[in-house]
Structure 1
Amino acid sequence: MYAIVTTGGKQYKVAKGDIFDVEKLDAQPGDKVKLDVLMLNDGKKTVVDAATLAKKKVTCEVLDQFKGEKVLVFKLKKRKRYHRTKGHRQNLTKLQVTSMPTTRTAAKSASTEEAAE
């Protein structure tokens, strides 16, 4: 079972217990963070209905705040004697997935919405 979640303008494929790095979030280590779900899959059934998944969240625990590896940016204009080297280290947050919604609960809420219409 896995889910596609979004944070920081990027999408991540996660499963329960996974540890992954995302763009920096305003949270301290030990805090719980809820991420928006774009898709749920349990191996047999896939749920992609935006209205159903709007209520579903993946809960993650913040493990660490850290800086990523250094990325070097080198600028050069040949024959002009111009060259610059700069470095950048992105602030990141390490998350661990603690709980995920199931496709059954997502499917039940979708079927009750269809029945109500």
Structure 2
Amino acid sequence: MATLHYGASDDAIHIEDRALAHLKIVIATKLRRNESFTLSWKHPEGEPGGRSTIWVHPSIPLRFVFDEPEAPQINVKWVEQLMHTANSSGGIMLVDEVLETPELEASNA
């Protein structure tokens, strides 16, 4: 389970390594453009239920800590879907990974 440290808070945000690797791309893109936005996620199992949202601003320290030493292979479709939410008025919503299926690939041929 990866950890996102935001601001001076001691509260760590726990997100799966693979999901955080994809979020990192979208967050870095937005911050590189000097854009502020919200980031929302459902609490993982093992933590109290519910969801959280933070306001992400380029001036607030942000650190990504991964359990896995190697970066995962990036799913471009998932990054695109996360970027789509990032550009909406609701901000980035951590959505489930978009997986390619043989039926979907065949219908696109």
TM-score (norm 1): 0.28
Which one has a larger percent helix, Structure 1 or Structure 2?
A: 2
TM-score (norm 2): 0.29
Which one has a larger percent strand, Structure 1 or Structure 2?
A: 1
Computing the radius of gyration over CA atoms, which structure comes out larger, 1 or 2? 1
